[in-house]
C-alpha cells in the first residue's frame, strides 16, 4: 500500500473523511502528538489500528470526539467530567468514564471504561466534525516507539501500512495528553501531560496522581491503566537518567559521556558547557521546551545509531512531571544517583 501525505487543509480533510468512512486508517495531527484514526463505531476498522501499530490487544484506545455533546453519547457523563471538559476542552486532556453500549468494546480493549478526548488542534477538530462519527486514535507510532510529533515521524513508522497522513506541521505540545480517571468521583491522573495536576486542582479543587506514574509496576501488580504495563517511548539506545544536585549531575554526566561519539547527553540549557568531545543535545530552557523536543530527539538518536543516552532529571512539578514520566519510561526506570559511588555502567545497545 502506498501512503499518501497531504496538507491538513480543507482538501486533505475531505480526502481523509472519504478514507475513514470506508473503514480505512488516517494519521492526523493533534496539538499533543499525531494520532492514527479509524471510525470508532466500526469494529473492523478499530481492529486494523491494532494490526498497523503492532499494538498489544489489551491496550485501549482514546475516542476523539467533536464536542461534549458527542462525548455524552458514548460515556456516562458526571459532574466531574463536565467540569473538567468545560475547563480544558478542547485541549490535551483525556477523560476516563464508564463506557456506554453505544461505543464498541474493541475501542477500549474490552474494558468497561472509555477514554474520551476533544483535541485542541483545529484540523483534528474539523476532521472529527466532518466525519460525524468519533475517531478511535492512539498515537501514530509503531508500538513501543516514541510518539510521532511530525508527519515524517509517522511515515518513518507506518509508511506502506496506512493509506493517508494529514500533515499539520510539528505538534505544539510534543507529549501525549493527560489521562484522568473520573469514574471514582475524584480526578486521578493515570498519565501526566500538559494539563498538569496543579491546573486540575485549580479547576475542581483536588487532584490525585496514581503513584504508578513515576515507578515501575511490580510483575503481578494491577495496572490502573493498561498503558503503564507496556514499555513506551523507547529509543533503541540504552538510556539512563542521572539524578542529583546540578553540580553533581554536571560532573557525572561529563565523566560518563565526554569523549564518546556514540553517547548523547540530554540536558536543559545551562547545565553543561558546550565542549568538544561531548555530544550534548539540548532539551531547551524549561519543561515546556523539553516536552516539545523529547520524542524528536529520541528518534534522532536512533537514526544516528547512538548507543547510549544519558539524561538529566527535571523537577517533577507542572509539565516537569509529564517530561519525567516519559524520560523514566524511555530509560526503563534506569537511574543513577549523581554524588554516590558509580556502579558499573553497562554500554551495550539492547537490540
| Residue ranges binding ligand TXA (CB under 6 A) | 30, 32-33, 35, 59-62, 94, 96, 108, 111, 113-115, 117, 119, 137-139, 176-177, 179, 190-191, 225-227
Closest CA to 63 of 123, 97, 112, 107: 107
Beta carbon nearer to ligand TXA, 186 or 260: 186
Q: Length of the chain, please?
A: 351
Q: Pick from Mg ion, ligand TXA, none: which does 227 bind, CB < 5 to 8 A by kind?
A: ligand TXA
| DSSP at 263 | E
Under a CB-based contact definition with an 8 Å cutoff, are residues 149 and 233 in contact? no
Q: Please give the Cα distance from 92 to 119 (Å, whole number).
A: 6
Under a CB-based contact definition with an 8 Å cutoff, are residues 293 and 283 in contact? yes
Contacts of 220 (CB under 8 A, 6+ apart): none
CB of 194 to ligand TXA, least distance (A): 9
Beta carbon nearer to Mg ion, 138 or 197: 138
CB of 114 to ligand TXA, least distance (A): 6
| DSSP at 139 | B
CB of 273 to ligand TXA, least distance (A): 35
Q: Pick from Mg ion, ligand TXA, none: which does 136 bind, CB < 5 to 8 A by kind?
A: none
Write the binding mask 130 to 149 for Mg ion: x where contact by CB under 5 A, - elsewhere.
Answer: --------xx----------
Under a CB-based contact definition with an 8 Å cutoff, are residues 149 and 120 in contact? no
Q: Which residue is nearest to Mg ion (CB)?
A: 139
Q: Hey, is 31 helix, strand or coil? A: coil
Q: Pick from Mg ion, ligand TXA, none: which does 106 bind, CB < 5 to 8 A by kind?
A: none
Residue spans of beta strands (DSSP E) within the chain: 4-7, 26-28, 35-39, 62-64, 93-98, 113-117, 135-136, 164-167, 178-181, 188-191, 208-209, 238-243, 263-267, 279-282, 308-312, 335-337
Q: Pick from ligand TXA, Mg ion, none: which does 316 bind, CB < 5 to 8 A by kind?
A: none
Contacts of 83 (CB under 8 A, 6+ apart): 203, 204
Q: Pick from ligand TXA, Mg ion, none: which does 111 bind, CB < 5 to 8 A by kind?
A: ligand TXA
Give exposure, 318-351, as e/b (b: 16+ Cβ within 10 Å): bbbbbbbbbbbbbbbeebbebeeeeeeeeeeeee
Beta carbon nearer to ligand TXA, 117 or 326: 117
CB of 104 to ligand TXA, least distance (A): 13
Beta carbon nearer to ligand TXA, 102 or 304: 102
CB of 161 to ligand TXA, least distance (A): 16
Beta carbon nearer to ligand TXA, 55 or 252: 55
Beta carbon nearer to ligand TXA, 191 or 250: 191
| Per rule CB under 5 A, count of chain residues that contact Mg ion | 2
Using rule CB under 5 A, residue 59 touches Mg ion: no
Beta carbon nearer to ligand TXA, 94 or 308: 94
Which cell numbers hold the place of 204?
475542581
Which residues of the shown chain bind Mg ion in the complex (CB under 5 A)? 138-139
Amino acid at each position: 500500500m502506498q501512503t499518501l501525505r497531504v496538507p491538513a487543509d480543507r482538501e486533505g480533510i475531505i480526502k481523509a473523511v472519504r478514507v475513514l468512512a470506508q473503514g480505512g486508517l488516517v494519521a492526523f495531527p493533534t496539538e499533543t502528538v499525531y494520532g492514527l484514526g479509524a471510525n470508532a463505531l466500526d469494529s473492523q476498522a478499530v481492529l486494523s489500528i491494532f494490526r498497523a501499530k503492532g499494538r498489544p490487544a489489551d491496550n485501549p484506545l482514546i475516542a476523539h470526539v467533536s464536542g461534549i455533546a458527542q462525548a455524552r453519547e458514548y460515556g456516562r457523563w458526571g459532574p466531574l467530567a463536565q467540569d473538567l471538559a468545560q475547563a480544558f476542552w478542547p485541549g490535551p486532556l483525556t477523560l476516563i468514564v464508564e463506557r456506554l453500549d453505544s461505543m464498541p468494546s474493541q475501542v477500549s480493549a474490552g474494558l468497561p471504561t472509555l477514554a474520551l478526548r476533544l483535541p485542541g488542534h483545529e484540523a483534528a477538530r474539523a476532521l472529527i466534525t466532518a466525519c460525524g462519527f468519533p475517531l478511535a486514535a492512539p498515537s501514530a507510532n509503531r508500538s513501543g516507539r516514541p510518539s510521532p510529533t511530525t508527519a515524517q515521524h509517522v511515515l518513518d513508522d507506518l509508511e506502506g501500512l496506512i493509506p493517508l497522513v494529514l500533515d499539520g506541521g510539528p505538534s505544539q505540545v510534543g507529549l501525549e495528553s493527560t489521562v484522568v480517571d473520573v469514574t471514582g468521583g475524584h480526578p486521578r491522573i493515570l498519565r501526566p501531560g500538559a494539563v498538569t495536576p496543579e491546573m486540575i486542582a485549580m479547576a475542581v479543587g483536588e487532584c490525585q496522581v496514581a503513584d504508578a506514574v513515576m515507578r515501575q509496576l511490580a510483575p503481578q501488580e494491577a495496572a490502573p491503566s493498561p498503558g503503564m504495563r507496556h514499555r513506551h517511548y523507547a529509543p533503541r539506545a540504552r538510556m539512563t537518567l542521572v539524578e542529583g544536585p546540578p553540580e553533581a549531575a554536571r560532573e557525572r554526566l561529563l565523566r560518563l559521556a565526554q569523549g564518546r561519539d556514540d553517547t548523547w547527553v540530554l540536558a536543559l540549557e545551562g547545565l553543561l558547557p558546550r565542549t568538544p568531545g561531548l555530544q550534548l543535545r539540548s532539551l531547551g530552557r524549561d519543561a515546556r521546551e523539553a516536552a516539545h523536543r523529547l520524542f524528536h530527539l529520541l528518534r534522532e538518536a536512533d537514526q544516528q545509531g547512538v548507543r547510549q543516552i544519558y539524561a538529566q532529571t527535571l523537577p517533577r512539578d507542572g509539565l516537569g512531571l509529564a517530561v519525567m514520566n516519559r524520560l523514566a519510561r524511555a530509560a526503563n526506570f534506569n537511574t543513577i544517583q549523581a554524588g554516590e559511588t558509580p556502579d558499573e555502567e553497562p554500554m551495550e545497545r539492547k537490540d
